[in-house]
Amino acid sequence: MTDHGQNKVIDEGRQGEAILLEQSNDVQGKKLYVESYGCQMNFSDSEVVASIMSNDGYTTTRNIDEADVVLINTCSIRENAETRVRNRLTEFKHRKEQNPDLVVGILGCMAERLKKSLLEEEKLVDLVAGPDAYRDLPNLVEEVGTGQKAVNVLLSRDETYADISPVRLDQGGISAFVTIMRGCDNMCSFCVVPFTRGRERSRDPHTIVEECTDLFAKGYREVTLLGQNVDSYRWNLTSKGEIKDTAQPTTNFAQLMEMVALVSPDLRVRFSTSHPKDMTDEVLEIMAKYENICPYIHLPVQSGHTDVLYRMNRGYSREWYLDRIDAIKRIIPDCAISTDIITGFCGETEQEHQDTLSLMDIVQYDFAYMFKYSERPKTLAERRFEDDVPEEVKGRRLNEVIDKQLAHSLASHKRQIGKTVKVLVEGKSKRSDVRMCGRDGRNSMVVFPAGAFDKGQYVMVRIEECTSATLLGEVVEVLEPAQTLQS
């Protein structure tokens, strides 16, 4: 879930836009309005926030005019994301002039980093809560009611919100995010996440399975297991691999994924994000074992040159990364692979950029999230390196990466023409009421004529046409729900 600088996303995916969370239009009681910006983790966090606030008597609303509390969950990874958030907070400030009782708060990564500026200098918000302080939100709102500015940005080594049942704010949805761990121990030099989300800690696997089982019972048919680095999930293990409690079993990510896959063969399992240095063959073998674990891996490379990777403090070389790609293709031959790429990182030479392009040719990514480097405050890169690649060079290199990925994405989709793929129906197509859409296991968006099937059903679609972003086809079979669990 990495997001840096100006970007181009070759995917009709779920990242990067402001997401308005909705639940209820009940006109009684206290009303909460929440917006979430940035990565999937922020969206998942906002559902935890809605649950905590609902226990204090709040229902969420889509109508900001009836809100008593407005919370905006922020991302501090990209500069333009921060700009959008500031603009939105300025709009809320104007609303407060009309309704002085309105409470405006900022949550998440940007909250921790800019608390003083937003509270005292610009006076854009009434409260600030960091990612580990959401349980304190009812108290913070109450404190604002006494005329005080309220702040809690303390980081925790234990908080996982494992006992919180998130309020699913996309009622009637079929896909849900399930957070399996929080924080990050990787110190990538370009990234602020370790400083805003704290140290890595994993959630009890049994609470994860219970949440996924409950989601399936409520009609959800796809879960995405979330973490800054899911491959380093380890329950009852220290970062050094030592057992914390000998009376309890240990669980790694491969074992957790198998536990979730066994909830039901009709529950699709995805995950994000993997780190190349921690991707194991055991994870790949579990993916190959279960049909309902989607054959799709997001494996951020960032750069195709070992020296740049060293400056980024990524913990692997070009050769190591390509070895992991070879393992994926060997163990899961039809697996789709996506990535993140940053152009113009500190000191990047033209040859180092060319090596990124050559790596793209070797891997042939199906999708990519591509960015030009944007220096973020408080990162290791800001302290250690000079942001010395001119903006026009960053932009030119980014365009070269985008052009190459567009060609690779189109070629990937053309290889699917003539195949029949299993698609989870998501609903009506955004562009036509007579068409429906859904994703296949490889995470490609598939569009097909509407028919006698509903959102949440699985259909088999024969692919007949494509663009670089979408597959188009005809439904050849509507699948019945599975009757037995996989073993």
Domain range summary for the chain, segments of one domain joined by +: 11-152, 175-414, 420-478
CATH number of 11-152: 3.40.50.12160
> Dmax of the chain from CA atoms?
65
Q: And the tokens for 346?
A: 């500190």
User: Which CATH class for the 175-414 domain?
Assistant: alpha beta
Give the list of residues 6+ apart from residue 146 with CB closer than 8 angstroms, or none: none
Alpha helix positions (H), 17-136: 40-54, 79-98, 109-113, 115-116
pLDDT exceeds cutoff 50 at 10? no
Mean predicted confidence (pLDDT) in 29-44: 85
pLDDT band at 80 (very low <50, low <70, confident <90, very high): low
Whether residue 188 contacts residue 138, with contact meaning beta carbons closer than 8 Å, is answered with: no
Q: Which of 443, 444, 347, 340 is nearest to 398 (CA)?
A: 340
Q: What are phi and psi of 447, to 5 degrees?
A: -115, 140
- Which range, of 109-113, 147-151, 261-265, averages the lowest pLDDT? 109-113
Residue 277 in tokens: 């240095």
- Residue 332 sits at the vertex; the CA angle it makes with 1 and 406, to the nearest 5 degrees, is 55
Supply angle C-alpha 353, 359, 360, rounded to 5: 95
What tokens appear for 320 in the block?
A: 């190591």
Residue-wise pLDDT for 199-235, tens only, equals: 899 999 999 999 999 999 999 999 999 998 999 999 9
Which of 89-93, 326-330, 425-429 holds the top average pLDDT? 326-330
Q: Is the pLDDT of residue 55 over 80?
A: yes
DSSP 118: I
Q: Stretch 288-292: mean pLDDT, rounded?
A: 98
Mean pLDDT of 382-411: 97
Mean per-residue pLDDT, 16-32: 55
81, 42 Cβ separation under 8 angstroms: no
Tell me what pLDDT residue 36 has. 85
What contacts 97, CB < 8 A, 6 or more positions away? none
Coil, helix or strand for 30? Answer: strand
| Neighbouring C-beta atoms of residue 204, cutoff 10 Å | 16
How far apart CA 215 and CA 168 sit, in angstroms, is 9
Q: Which CATH class is domain 420-478?
A: mainly beta
> How far is residue 265 from each of residues 48, 211, 260, measured CA to CA in Å?
27, 16, 10
Residues 63, 35: Cα–Cα separation, whole Å:
12
Two structure tokens written together for 262: 């066994």
Same fold, 175-414 and 420-478: no
Element containing residue 16 per DSSP (H, E): none
The pTM of the full predicted model, rounded to 2 decimals, is 0.85
**pLDDT category of residue 79 using cuts at 50, 70 and 90:** low
pLDDT band, residue 452 (cuts 50/70/90): confident
State the DSSP code for 249: -
List Cβ neighbours of 399 (8 Å cut-off, separation of 6 or more): none
Distance between CA 294 and CA 272 in Å, rounded?
12
